[in-house]
């Protein structure tokens, strides 16, 4: 019987794939249900090219869940505000609660015979896979829900403003169901304790935000922390660590879902086939990890002026092709190598990104 500790995305992805290989598997989850670590909120799934189900299928998952593809966003740099569309739609995935991705994978897992033990908090030394989520705070997010009927339901807002989201982080608005919007601010260490205060300051000081919220009081909150610390080995005492329990998280923007799902499946494959897990995740994450670290270096050094610069030629109504905005070829390699090295040096001396 395979034993997985933690029923987040990485634990669930591993469990479904074990079961599909015909192995018996159980998940121990300390909460009452999967997805209970979040209030319902939408999260961006990268690398899915506008097609979240196909991405998940590639990783052995066919869950039913709620998501929406968004192509338009209100882009706010420190100085400008303009609406643009994206060449490729961005899938926003429901996390937490009914119809969320984790509930969908849980249903799939149960139909494949995975056994769940809820309210079962386990010691980290007790499983084949440790998928217990973040163990350190490199970044924090705090958000508030407001009742608002005006914000377009098919857009989101994305703001880089150093005064409120240091250093080089961002604030966003995503419409939830009916007439509610979620306004979230993100910061990195050493600013994480101020994330909430800075969210309300941003709403007060940036007219575009106060106009959108228009005096409404928050009806609820959401938040959490993330930890990124790519280890030399993600195997400890014979247990394979996945997702944020291993330190797999994007230090640039906190987009950890891909790292979680993919590492969960790679851990399952390593255990089922006798493969070398460390070699497998290093090969899978090498390029993404390096790019995420390099971009964090750029945003750490220049703050949100880096975003201002990247968007300098984009105007109201333009279509944004992120591939074109990023540097390409040798310039990109040189830029990324330099900032990657600078950021790694900072992390090794100061222990934060």
Ligand X SMILES: Cc1cc2nc3c(=O)[nH]c(=O)nc-3n(C[C@H](O)[C@H](O)[C@H](O)COP(=O)(O)OP(=O)(O)OC[C@H]3O[C@@H](n4cnc5c(N)ncnc54)[C@H](O)[C@@H]3O)c2cc1C
Under rule CB under 6 A, residue 37 binds ligand X: yes
Query: Which one of residues 226, 247, 251, 297 is an interface residue with ligand X (CB under 6 A)?
Result: 226
Cα atoms found within 13 Å of the Cα of residue 19, Cβ hemisphere only: 24
Least distance between ligand X and beta carbon 7 (Å): 5
Under rule CB under 6 A, residue 254 binds ligand X: yes
Query: Which one of residues 2, 4, 5, 271 is an interface residue with ligand X (CB under 6 A)?
Result: 5
Under rule CB under 6 A, residue 257 binds ligand X: yes
Under rule CB under 6 A, residue 138 binds ligand X: no
β-strand 81-95 against 218-226: which pairing, if any?
Answer: unpaired
Whether residue 58 is preceded by a cis peptide bond, meaning omega within 30 degrees of 0, is no
Query: Which one of residues 148, 187, 192, 249 is an interface residue with ligand X (CB under 6 A)?
Result: 249
Query: Helix (H, G, I), strand (E, B), or coil: what is residue 282?
Result: helix
Span near ligand X by CB under 6 A; candidates 65-73, 78-86, 222-230, 292-300: 222-230
Nearer to ligand X, 192 or 304 (CB): 192
* DSSP bridge pairs for 116: 27
Under rule CB under 6 A, residue 100 binds ligand X: no
Q: How far apart are CA 10 and CA 2, in angstroms?
A: 14
Least distance between ligand X and beta carbon 139 (Å): 9
* DSSP bridge pairs for 238: none
- Residue holding tokens 């987040």? 8
Under rule CB under 6 A, residue 91 binds ligand X: no
Under rule CB under 6 A, residue 227 binds ligand X: no
CB 237 within 8 A of CB 264: no
Footprint (CB under 6 A) of ligand X, residues 56-85: none
Token pair, residue 92, equals 């926003």
Binding footprint of ligand X, residue count (CB under 6 A): 34
Nearer to ligand X, 127 or 297 (CB): 127
Token pair, residue 102, equals 């984790």
Under rule CB under 6 A, residue 7 binds ligand X: yes
Residue of minimal Cβ distance to ligand X: 8
Burial class (CB in 10 A: 0-12, 13-18, 19+), 286: exposed
Query: Which one of residues 121, 125, 331, 332 is an interface residue with ligand X (CB under 6 A)?
Result: 121
CA angle 108, 109, 115 (to 5 degrees): 145
Under rule CB under 6 A, residue 9 binds ligand X: yes
β-strand 81-95 against 25-29: which pairing, if any?
Answer: unpaired
Query: Which one of residues 2, 39, 43, 144 is an interface residue with ligand X (CB under 6 A)?
Result: 43
Name the percent of the chain in helix, strand, coil, to the closest 5.
35, 25, 40
CB 93 within 8 A of CB 65: yes
Query: Which one of residues 2, 4, 8, 300 is an interface residue with ligand X (CB under 6 A)?
Result: 8
Under rule CB under 6 A, residue 247 binds ligand X: no
DSSP string over 307-352? HHHHTTT--TTPEE-HHHHS--HHHHHHHHHHHHHHHHHHHHHHS-
Q: Which of 34, 21, 226 is nearest to 135 (CA)?
A: 226
Least distance between ligand X and beta carbon 256 (Å): 2
Query: Which one of residues 50, 53, 113, 224 is an interface residue with ligand X (CB under 6 A)?
Result: 224
Span near ligand X by CB under 6 A; candidates 75-83, 196-204, 216-224, 342-350: 216-224
Least distance between ligand X and beta carbon 59 (Å): 13
Q: Which of 165, 143, 147, 149 is nearest to 76 (CA)?
A: 165
Under rule CB under 6 A, residue 202 binds ligand X: no
Query: Which one of residues 161, 244, 262, 292 is an interface residue with ligand X (CB under 6 A)?
Result: 244
Binding site for ligand X (CB under 6 A): 5-11, 28-31, 37, 43-44, 121-122, 131-134, 141, 222-224, 226, 243-245, 249, 254-257, 260
């Amino acid at each position: 019987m395979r034993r997985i500790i933690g029923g987040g995305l990485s634990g669930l992805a591993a469990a479904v794939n074990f079961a599909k290989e015909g192995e018996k598997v159980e998940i121990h989850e300390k909460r009452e249900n999967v997805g209970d670590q979040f209030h319902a909120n939408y999260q961006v799934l990268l690398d899915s090219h506008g097609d979240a189900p196909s991405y998940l299928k590639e990783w052995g998952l066919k869950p039913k869940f709620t998501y929406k593809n968004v192509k338009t966003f209100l882009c706010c740099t420190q100085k400008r505000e303009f609406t643009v569309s994206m060449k490729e739609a961005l899938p926003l995935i429901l996390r937490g609660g009914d119809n969320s991705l984790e509930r969908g994978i849980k249903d799939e897992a149960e139909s494949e015979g995975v056994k769940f033990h809820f309210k079962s908090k386990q010691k980290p030394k007790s499983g084949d896979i440790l998928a217990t989520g973040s163990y350190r705070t490199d970044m924090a997010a705090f958000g508030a829900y407001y009742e608002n009927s005006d914000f377009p339901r098919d857009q989101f807002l994305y703001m880089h403003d150093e005064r409120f989201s240091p250093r080089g982080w961002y604030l966003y608005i995503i419409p939830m169901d009916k007439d509610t919007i979620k306004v979230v601010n993100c910061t990195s260490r050493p600013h994480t304790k101020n994330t909430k205060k800075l969210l309300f300051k941003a709403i007060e000081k940036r007219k575009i935000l106060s106009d959108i919220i228009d005096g409404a009081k928050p009806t609820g909150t959401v938040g959490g922390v993330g930890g990124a610390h790519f280890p030399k080995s993600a195997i400890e005492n014979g247990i394979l660590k996945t997702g944020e329990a291993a330190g797999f998280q994007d230090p640039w923007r906190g987009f950890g879902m891909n790292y979680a799902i993919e590492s969960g499946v790679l851990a399952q494959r390593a255990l089922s086939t006798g493969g070398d897990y460390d070699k497998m995740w290093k090969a899978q994450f090498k390029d993404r990890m390096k790019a995420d670290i390099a971009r964090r270096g750029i945003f750490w050094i220049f703050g949100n002026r880096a975003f201002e610069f990247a968007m300098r030629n984009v105007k109201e109504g333009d279509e944004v092709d992120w591939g074109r905005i990023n540097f390409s070829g040798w310039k990109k390699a040189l830029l990324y190598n330099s900032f990657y090295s600078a950021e790694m040096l900072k992390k090794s001396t100061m222990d934060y990104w």
